[in-house]
Amino acid sequence: MSPSTSAVSLTRFLIEAEREGQIQPDLRLLIEVVARACKSISIAVGKGALGGVLGDAGTPGEASINVQGEAQKKLDVLSNEILLEANAWGGHLAALASEEMDHAVMIPQDYPRGRYLLLFDPLDGSSNIDVNISVGTIFSVLACPQDIDSPCDEHFLQPGTAQVAAGYCTYGPSTMLVLTVGHGTHAFTLDREVGGFVLTTRGMRIPEDTKEFAVNMSNQRHWEPAMQSYVGDLLAGKEGPRGKDFNMRWVASMVADVHRILTRGGIFSYPLDAKCADKGGKLRLMYEANPMSMLVEQAGGAASTGRQRMLEVRPTHLHQRVPVFLGSRNEVEMAVRYHLERDAAAA
């Protein structure tokens, strides 16, 4: 079999990326370790009720609460532990940060230290775990500033443009890893029999236009006027100013919604609303919005807060929240236009 026709494993893909000078060996190791951890999470998710992993973490009647003030599921905690354990000893990381931990944790002094910072949302879409709907893991990799002995939260506060790699794993009918190291966005499918990820789409491309939007419509009455008017025009369909009918999809797992958009286009939004305005939004910048925005941009799409390119937001804290609009380029630009025009009219 010629090399060009044989299946390309994640390992082979990464070795080739290394040979082409796209990544360093320690970044290859980091990505392989994260992928291995995701395989373990996939096995735990796949066992469902048989694995005793469904339901809330904590004691009966008293669910444990994370730094976000949200109840933790058993699988949130387990996935976090799997990622922490897998990454602690490899020598590729200086520190890690997670949705489920108040602060970043340094790699202990007695382990070899590396030069990367890893951020993750260990299990995204937690509300879907107990009803057997796709969930996922999202991760982002940054370089640790040089000459730092004790990396902590502040060293993670780099804009999304500084990410050296980003990806997610979706645990759905099949388990898929979608990855960028800054040279396109590529999808790998887990071959469960072999136990490895195999490249299934090289260079994902998001169509520039779309007729599909994703938003939690139950928040409509809480949105800003710009969002009200943008979605109002989508709903008006052929007879409205957009002159076409739009369809709506909302899985309520960002990973699954973004995966659909990377596959067939669309716009995903979690806008500012009156319920989350004091927090700055619902979704988290550092381990949800930024990695997804890098993946989407690398696939030819766009990502914005509604007013600013997502990857240029200057983070101020680890668990910062932001409004999110991402997906098909022309549609994201349209949503941004509604916001900027309202702002200009109000000024």
Ligand X SMILES: O=P(O)(O)OC[C@H]1O[C@](O)(COP(=O)(O)O)[C@@H](O)[C@@H]1O
| Residues of the binding site for Mg(2+) | 99, 121, 123-124, 288
- Binding-site residues for substrate, in ranges, read 124-127, 216, 282
Nearer to ligand X, 162 or 252 (CB): 252
> What sign for the dihedral angle of Cα 190, 191, 197, 198?
negative
> What minimum distance in Å lies between the beta carbon of 336 and Mg ion?
23
Q: Three-state DSSP class for 70?
A: coil
> What minimum distance in Å lies between the beta carbon of 344 and ligand X?
29
Nearer to ligand X, 27 or 286 (CB): 286
Selection from Mg ion, ligand X, none that 212 binds (CB < 5 to 8 A by kind) is none
Nearer to Mg ion, 136 or 266 (CB): 136
- 196-201 and 212-214 strand pairing: unpaired
Selection from Mg ion, ligand X, none that 252 binds (CB < 5 to 8 A by kind) is ligand X
- Binding-site residues, in ranges, read 99, 121, 123-127, 216, 282, 288
According to DSSP, residue 316 is labeled -
Report the side by side order of strands in the sheet with 165-171: 105-106, 93-98, 116-124, 135-143, 165-171, 175-180, 185-191, 196-201
Site for ligand X in 165-184 (CB under 6 A): none
Asked if 121 touches ligand X (CB under 6 A), the answer is: yes
Q: Three-state DSSP class for 106?
A: strand
Nearer to ligand X, 133 or 152 (CB): 133
d(CA 68, CA 100): 8
Site for ligand X in 214-233 (CB under 6 A): 216
Residue 263 structure tokens? 């596959």
Nearer to Mg ion, 122 or 266 (CB): 122
Q: Binder to ligand X among 98, 185, 253, 304 (CB under 6 A)?
A: 253
Site for ligand X in 258-287 (CB under 6 A): 270
Q: Binder to ligand X among 80, 98, 126, 298 (CB under 6 A)?
A: 126
Q: Binder to ligand X among 125, 167, 291, 306 (CB under 6 A)?
A: 125
Strands (E), the chain: 58-59, 62-63, 93-98, 105-106, 116-124, 135-143, 165-171, 175-180, 185-191, 196-201, 212-214, 247-248, 267-270, 283-284, 302-304, 321-322, 324-327
d(CA 98, CA 80): 7
Selection from Mg ion, ligand X, none that 127 binds (CB < 5 to 8 A by kind) is ligand X
Q: Tell me which residues touch Mg ion (CB under 5 A).
A: 99, 121, 123-124
Nearer to Mg ion, 101 or 235 (CB): 101
User: What is the DSSP secondary-structure string of 182-227?
Assistant: SS-EEEEEEETTTTEEEEEESS----S--SEEE--GGGGGGB-HHH
User: Which positions touch ligand X (CB under 6 A)?
Assistant: 70, 99, 121, 124-127, 216, 252-254, 270
